[in-house]
Amino acid sequence: MTQHAPPLLLMLLLCTVSSTFQHALVLELAKILLDNYCFPENLVGMHEAIQQAINSGEILQISDRKTLATVLTVGVQGALNDPRLIVSYEPNFMPPMLPSLPTEQLSRLMRNSVKLDTLDNNVGYLRMDWIIGKETTAKLGSRLRDNIWDRVAETSSLIFDLRYCTAGELSGVPIIISYFSDPETLIHIDTVYDRPSNTTRELWTMPSIMGKRYGRKKDLILLTSKRTIGAAEAVVYALKNLKRAIVVGERSAGGSVRVQKIRIAQTEFYITVPVARSISPITGQSWEVRGVSPTVNVNAKEAVVKAKSLLAIRRAIPKVVQNISDIIGRFYAFTDRVPSLQHRLQLTNLFSVVSKEDLAARLNEELQTVCEDPRIIIKYNQDDAPIEEEDPELYNVPNHVELLTELVDTTFKVEILPNNTGYLCFDKFVKLSSWAKLEELMAKKVWEPLKDTNNLIIDLRFNTGGSSTSLSLILSYLQDTSKKHHFFTIYDRIQNISTEYDSLPLITGTTYGSTRGVYVLTSYHTAGVGEEFAYLIQSLHRGTVVGEITSGNLMHSKTFPIDSTDIAITIPFINFLDNNGECWLGGGVVPDAIVLAEEAVAHVYEIADFHQGLRFLLEGTGEMFEKYYAIHEVALKVSKELLNKWDEGLYWSVVDFESLASQLTVDIQETSGDHRIHVFHYNVEPEAPHNVPMTPTAEEVGYMIDALLKHDLLPGNVGYLRFDMMADVEVMKAIGPQLIKLVWSKIGNTDALIIDMRYNTGGYSTAIPLLCTYFFDDEPLQHIYTVFDRTTNTMTEVMTLPQVMGQRYQPSKDVYILTSHMTGSAAEVFTQAMKDLNRATIIGEPTIGGSLSSGTYQIGDSVLYASIPNQVVLSAITGKMWSISGVEPHVIVQAKDALPAAQRMIAARLLSREQRK
Q: What is the mean pLDDT of residues 355-361?
A: 90
Residue 398's pLDDT band (boundaries 50, 70, 90)?
low
Which pTM does this prediction carry?
0.72
Please enumerate in sequence order all residues whose Cβ is within 8 A of that of 96, keeping only pairs 6 or more positions apart, or say none.
Answer: none
Which one is predicted more confidently, 877 or 691? 877
pLDDT of residue 545: 97
Residue 133's pLDDT band (boundaries 50, 70, 90)?
confident
Percentage, residues of the chain above pLDDT 70:
89
Least confident of 411-415, 433-437, 568-572, 827-831: 433-437
pLDDT of residue 293: 95
pLDDT of residue 141: 73
pLDDT digits (tens, 9 = 90+) for 890-913: 999 999 999 999 999 998 888 877
Q: What is the mean pLDDT of residues 356-375?
A: 88
Indicate whether 236 pLDDT > 90: yes
Which DSSP helix (H) or strand (E) runs through 908? helix 898-916
Q: What is the mean pLDDT of residues 276-282?
A: 92
Indicate whether 225 pLDDT > 50: yes
pLDDT of residue 22: 63
- Bridge partner list, 378: 569
pLDDT of residue 134: 85
CA distance 312 to 565: 11
Q: What is the mean pLDDT of residues 879-896?
A: 87
Indicate whether 297 pLDDT > 70: yes
Q: What is the mean pLDDT of residues 277-305?
A: 93
pLDDT of residue 58: 39
Indicate whether 14 pLDDT > 80: no
Query: CA dist 887 to 251, 444, 533, Å?
Result: 66, 66, 48
pLDDT of residue 466: 86
Indicate whether 281 pLDDT > 70: yes
Instruction: Kindly report the backbone phi and psi dihedral angles of residue 546, in degrees, each rounded to the nearest multiple of 5, phi listed first.
Output: -130, 135
pLDDT of residue 73: 85
pLDDT of residue 436: 65
pLDDT digits (tens, 9 = 90+) for 439-481: 788 888 889 999 999 999 999 999 998 888 889 989 999 998 8
Please write down the HEC assignment for all residues of 716-772.
CCEEEEEECCECCHHHHHHCHHHHHHHHHHHHCCCCEEEEECCCCCCECCCCHHHHH
> Whole-angstrom distance between the N-terminal and C-terminal Cα of the chain?
69
Residue 825's pLDDT band (boundaries 50, 70, 90)?
confident
pLDDT of residue 452: 94
CA distance 576 to 583: 6
Contact criterion met (CB below 8 Å) for 317 and 363: no
pLDDT digits (tens, 9 = 90+) for 699-755: 666 666 776 778 889 998 999 999 888 888 887 887 778 888 888 888 888 999 999
Residue 16's pLDDT band (boundaries 50, 70, 90)?
very low
CA distance 259 to 256: 7
CA distance 275 to 259: 6
pLDDT digits (tens, 9 = 90+) for 34-87: 899 998 888 876 666 555 555 544 334 667 888 888 888 887 888 788 889 999
Least confident of 401-415, 649-663, 670-684, 859-873: 401-415
Q: What is the mean pLDDT of residues 818-832?
A: 92
Which one is predicted more confidently, 306 or 19? 306
Which one is predicted more confidently, 394 or 613? 613
pLDDT of residue 638: 95
pLDDT digits (tens, 9 = 90+) for 561-576: 988 788 999 999 999 9
pLDDT of residue 52: 55
pLDDT of residue 78: 80
Indicate whether 688 pLDDT > 80: no
pLDDT of residue 97: 57
Percentage, residues of the chain above pLDDT 90:
52
10: amino acid identity, one letter: L
Which one is predicted more confidently, 852 or 105? 852
pLDDT of residue 839: 92
Q: Please give the angle made by the CA atoms of 881, 887 and 891, to the nearest 5 degrees.
A: 140
**Upper half-sphere CA count for residue 765 (Cβ side, 13 Å):** 23
Q: Please give the angle made by the CA atoms of 861, 854 and 818, to the nearest 5 degrees.
A: 155
Indicate whether 295 pLDDT > 90: yes
pLDDT digits (tens, 9 = 90+) for 490-545: 999 999 999 999 998 888 888 898 999 999 999 999 998 999 999 999 999 999 99
Indicate whether 358 pLDDT > 80: yes
Q: Provide DSSP, 546-608.
A: EES--------EEEEEPTTSSEEEEEE-EEEE-TTSPEE--S-PPPSEE--GGGHHHHHHHHH
pLDDT of residue 9: 37
Contact criterion met (CB below 8 Å) for 550 and 589: yes
pLDDT of residue 496: 92
Contact criterion met (CB below 8 Å) for 122 and 151: no
Indicate whether 125 pLDDT > 90: yes
pLDDT of residue 322: 93
CA distance 722 to 561: 70
**Upper half-sphere CA count for residue 220 (Cβ side, 13 Å):** 25
Residue 320's pLDDT band (boundaries 50, 70, 90)?
very high
- Bridge partner list, 243: none
Q: What is the mean pLDDT of residues 98-125?
A: 78
